[in-house]
Structure 1
Amino acid sequence: MSAPGARLYPLRLTVTAKPLVFGGHAIARRLGKSGIPDWSVAETWECSDVTGLSGVVTEGPLTGRSLRQLVADHPGELLGAGRSGRCFPLLTKFIDAAGALPVHLHADDEAARRLEGQANGKTEAWHILAAAPGATALCGVREGVTAGRLRAALQAQDFDAVLRRLPVRAGETIYVPGGTPHSFGPDTLVYEIEQTSDIQQHAMRWRMEDGAAVSDAEFDANLDLLMRQVRLESRPEFTPGLRIAVGDGAERVFLCAGPYFALERWTSAGPVRHAFATARVLSNVGAPVRVRSGDWDGELGRAQTLLLPASCREAELTGPADVLFGYLPDLDRDVRAPLLDAGHSRQVIATLGAVD
């Protein structure tokens, strides 16, 4: 139930900075994000409701309320009509892969419930903000590789023998289903959107928190659980996205879409309006931009994020703007219909992830 008299508005949330061993300084120095520590940062969790790391509102009447509390108190207003849940279902991050991420995977929903005791798994997508020439990613198992061969290669740390290595280019996006082994970096800057979860199984002999060695017994146990969760058939591809003009000098690019989330990138030289029926996570990847929604008016700085509750219904951005909108999609209404109307075929729309 909503608190009496409560009213939602665009929400600024606390951000968690993660000092993992593959990180660097690109989130602050390249994207221009302020307010994070002046040490090597691998990830900033922009909108999180992971247990123990739930974002907290930092301004306005709801200051001090956690995202978890808002989901409980205002499910329809926050998420959208008829929606509810135990937590906010989207997790978004900036990731600086100055070094290579560990090879790992996240369980899908079924494996998470069966093997991890978790309510859901973690399907994710990476939108590439910047990448050095020749940058690559590992994503998915090569066709024809058996489970036994995969296990032996991971044991030997011979990843290229069994995993697909893909070229990485700025502006492209890849939708990565749960159960897909993957890694990216070095020299790669990513915006990631995913299901709210922190479950993962690594195939490395070192810890990503501090680089410390993993014992043989722990390494073997990690591989055993990874092999019970891997989807050998998952082989996703990068896509440049699908474009729609939304006005003079404004463009909307559908980057990825599936049942758990969708992600769009909007660019505009002048003012642009975005109407919505479900919650939007708005992250700025360009110069500071002014955002207006109802009575709320504020600046969104470089690499900063706002959570727009569904009850806001609309946001206006001043130009020039270069922003990302992550959201809970109605695939027919929010993805298929506008893309079909713009002349994109169903076959092409399916390349965005899991839109079938």
Structure 2
Amino acid sequence: MESVHPILLEASLHETIWGGRRLEEDGWKKLPPAKLIGEAWETEVNTLAQNPPYTGKTLGQLVIELGPSLLGPQAEAIFGPRFPLLAKFIDAHQKLSVQVHPDDAYAAQHEGGKLGKTECWYILAAEPGAAIVHGFATPTTRSAVATAIEKVELEQLLHEEPVQAGDVIFVPAGTVHAIGAGILLYELQEYSDITYRMYDYGRLTAEGKPRELHIERALAVAHYGPSARIKVRPVTLAGGPGYEERCLAACRYFVMRELALKGEAHDQTTGSCQILSALSAEATIHYGPSQQLHLTFTRGQSVVLPAALGPYSLEGHGLLLRSYVPAPNDAAWLAWKEANPELA
């Protein structure tokens, strides 16, 4: 079998009406001048590989060329022959619209076989008083929500949750949610582009028109009650001499783990590709025969490790995130479920 290598990706930057310049101001990304960037998509299929032997190829091309060697059997079992997870950095300079995502069954039936979207957020920075919307304040009904949207007073029904750096938020499909102003976060989600905009506070576009809403579909998939748990409980994992590790969030679609590197960590890819994103670390991946090959990445950069990469080590200092599609017996997922029974 042809040998595989880590894939260093250049994120695609997305201009939004609610975005800002914080990704550059805080040292995460180099942004184009005078543009308000709300999202950096780390693993979009159109992102370009930055390192040999893949330089200049898109992640989507590499999925086609490498197939199971890149994706892994566990990822393919859940997601099929497509890249499974989308990681993003999000800068909410202004508050986002209130949204909801369908589950896989609804999306398959009503969105041409697409995936639904379950996601999680790791809060990287938050201004004093910053908050998110997550579910409803009390149990409600579809008709009550529809009326509140029509009267532009849905805020009265929603639950707002203050957040700060370090919080981890799990957002299952069907959860009515919104990211508030003054929040910078890392998002991991099923690779899906289906978002139903339920409410936008009566705001107008630059042309003076209301933004498009998807009210009927949003109402069809929303859960009409308070969230069982908003801020989840990360779980400390075994770690090793050169690192500490926590499982931040986990479900059948993904596991997201945080590594605090203090030297060296050893691991291997098995049934799934992995996404590594550097939060504060400059790290070097050693891989291949006798670990003789290496690739370095730094704060704000992401690397995809193909499932067939095998044993590797990470050398460096600082925080990074490692995400993948878990097997049913994944130890980190099982430990996280035990600590978060409301979401199991």
**TM-score, normalising length: structure 2:** 0.88
Q: 1:169 to 1:318 in 2, by over 3 A?
A: same
Aligned equivalent of 1:142: 137
Q: 1:145 to 1:283 in 2, by over 3 A?
A: same
Give the counterpart letter for 1:260 in structure 2.
Y
**By how many angstroms is 1:159 displaced?**
3.1
**Structure-2 residue corresponding to 1:71:** 63
Q: 2:285 aligns with which of 281, 286, 291?
A: 291
Q: Residue in 2 aligned with 1:241? A: 234
Contact 1:206 1:212 in 2 (8 A): no
Deviates more, 1:54-63 or 1:104-113: 54-63
Q: Residue deviations 1:180-214, cap 9 Å, x none?
A: 11111211110000011111111345899965554
Contact preservation (8 Å) 1:18, 1:43:
yes
Deviation string, structure 1 residues 281-311 (Cα, Å, up to 9, x no partner): 0000004222222243122121100001111
Q: Judging changes above 3 Å, is the alpha-carbon distance between structure 1 residues 160 and 209 closer, same or farther for their aligned structure 2 residues?
A: closer
2:303 is matched by which residue type in structure 1?
L
Give the match for residue 341 of structure 2: 350
Q: Deviations over 1:72-110 (max 9, x none)?
A: 332321122465323101000000011111111112112
- Do the aligned partners of 1:292 and 1:317 also contact (CA within 8 Å) in 2? yes
Contact 1:172 1:240 in 2 (8 A): no
Aligned-partner SS, 1:12: strand
Match among 286, 292, 298 for residue 301 of structure 1: 298
Count of residue pairs brought into register by the alignment: 335
For the 8 Å contact 2:152–2:202, the answer to whether it is kept is no
Secondary structure of 2:17's counterpart equals coil
Contact 1:141 1:181 survives alignment (8 Å): yes
Match of 2:114 in 1: 119
Structure 1 unmatched ranges of 5 or more:
none
Q: Does 1:266 align with 2:259?
A: yes
Partner letter of residue 285 of structure 1?
A: L
Q: Counterpart of 1:230? A: 222
TM-score between the two structures when normalised by the length of structure 1: 0.86
What is the distance in 2 between the residues matched to 1:318 and 1:197? 33
1:105 aligns with 2:100: yes
Cα RMSD (Å) of the superposition? 2.5
Pairwise CA distance, 1:257: 0.5
Letter paired with 1:56: L
Identify which range, 230-239 or 190-199, moves more after superposition: 230-239
* Among candidates 193, 197, 202, match of residue 192 of structure 2: 197
**SS in structure 2 at match of 1:238:** coil
State whether structure 2 residue 4 is matched by structure 1 residue 8: yes
8 Å CA contact 2:131–2:161 kept in 1: the answer is: yes
1:133 equivalent in structure 2? 128
- What CA distance in whole angstroms lies between the structure 2 residues aligned with 1:207 and 1:308? 43
- 81, 86, 90: which one aligns with 2:81: 86
Cα 1:21–1:298 shift into 2, 3 Å: same
Deviates more, 1:173-182 or 1:199-208: 199-208
Distance 1:267 1:122, change over 3 A: same
Structure having the larger proportion of residues in strand: 2
Would you say 1:167 and 2:162 are equivalent positions?
Answer: yes
Equivalent residue of 2:239, what SS? strand
Q: Say if 2:245 is the partner of 1:252.
A: yes
* Per-residue Cα deviation, 1:204-233 (whole angstroms, up to 9, x for no partner): 4589996555459x54xx212211221225
Q: 1:21 aligns with which of 17, 20, 38?
A: 17
Kindly indicate whether residue 268 of structure 2 is the aligned counterpart of residue 275 of structure 1: yes
Quick check: 1:328 aligned with 2:325? yes
Which letter does structure 2 place at the counterpart of 1:348? Answer: A
Identity of aligned residues (%): 28
Q: Which residue of 2 aligns with 1:57?
A: 49
1:318 aligns with 2:309: no
